[in-house]
Amino acid sequence: MRNTTKITTAVLAAGVLTLGLTACGSDKASAGTSGPLVVAASPTPHAEILNFVKKNLAKKAGLDLEVKEFSDYIVPNTATEDGSVDANYFQNQPYLDDFNHKRGTHIVPVVTVHLEPLGLYSRKVDKADALKSGATIAVPNDAVNEARALKLLAHNGLITLKAGTGNEATPQDIAENPRNLRFKEVEAAQTPRSLDDVDAAVINGNFAISAGLKPAKDALVLESAKNNPYGNFLAVKKGRENDPRVKKLAKLLTSPEVRKFIEDKYQGSVIPSF
């Protein structure tokens, strides 16, 4: 058992699940290759990118695209698995590997589109070195993003992780903690809201942007895009990779028009991966 404080948000989770199921409706997404392609996505930046495609590129390509927004990291995969949606766009490979392993799902990536750099933010200090001894840092509570957060802190000299630490690192894997930092685990979507209650928080790029933060400007430290394994991709249930509609969307998501949209809109806070 982890010795950190874990904030549960059962009410929120229940609300998100209800919203997600309502968004999907009782009808299944198209089981064949006709009809609209229904894609589950996080609101920012994923749904924004998809809606740009829908508005500006899809019709010319002969693609009927429907975007369903979800505010959590679970329902998009379970809905893709059970056929409530045809595809999803919100996650990276380490997260998907962990999800498939733990939940027995069969989701596979189709094409990588962008990277959202993970960042450390604070309303109490203006640089990471100013964090005092005993400071509390909020980190995402899902296995992959918590490990990613700890690696970010280690890369910037705030902690040292044990040799061989992988994608399931927890605070128990910290070898050296010279500032005696304390860690509070919260749901990834709630990390921006935790900023008033902690000294700093590690926040996923999409949630930072949704909260009005500008990762390229506001983060105390930010992940590098170089050799970064956390690119976000379009994903489907295994066996649906050759759906012509999926192939059309994959091509549009990696088009020059989408690259320009990402670069112009997000100004380095979201980075094209193609």
Cβ neighbors of 10 (< 8 A, separation 6 or more) are none
Token pair of 197 as six digits: 């209650």
Dist. CA 1–CA 104, nearest whole Å: 23
Percent of the chain with pLDDT over 90: 77
Mean pLDDT computed over every residue of the chain = 89
Spacing of C-alpha 79 from chain mean position: 17
pLDDT digits (tens, 9 = 90+) for 49-107: 999 999 999 999 999 999 999 998 899 999 999 999 999 999 999 999 999 999 999 99
Report yes or no on whether pTM surpasses 0.95.
no
**Distance, CA of 113 to CA of 59 (rounded, Å):** 20
pLDDT at position 226 is 78
Tokens 């840092």, residue located: 137
Q: Break the chain into its structural domains and give their ranges.
A: 20-117+228-272, 119-222
In this predicted structure, the answer to whether residue 1 has a pLDDT above a threshold of 90 is no
Phi and psi at residue 27, to the nearest 5° = -80, 145
Banded model confidence at residue 22, pLDDT cuts 50, 70, 90? very low
Q: Is 241 left (phi over 0), alpha (psi -120 to 50) or beta?
A: alpha
Q: Are 18 and 47 in contact (CB under 8 A)?
A: no
* pLDDT tens-digit series, residues 109-156: 999 999 989 999 999 999 999 999 999 999 999 888 999 999 999 999
Mean pLDDT of 170-199: 97
The answer to whether 20-117+228-272 and 119-222 have equal CATH topology is: yes
Is 3.40.190.10 the CATH number for 20-117+228-272? yes
Angle 244-79-28 (CA atoms, 0-180°, nearest 5)?
65
**Dihedral of the alpha carbons of 246, 42, 216, 120, in degrees to the nearest 10:** -130
**Residue scoring higher pLDDT (180 or 206):** 180
> Which residue has better confidence, 230 or 47?
47
Query: Does the structural domain 119-222 have CATH classification 3.20.20.70?
Result: no
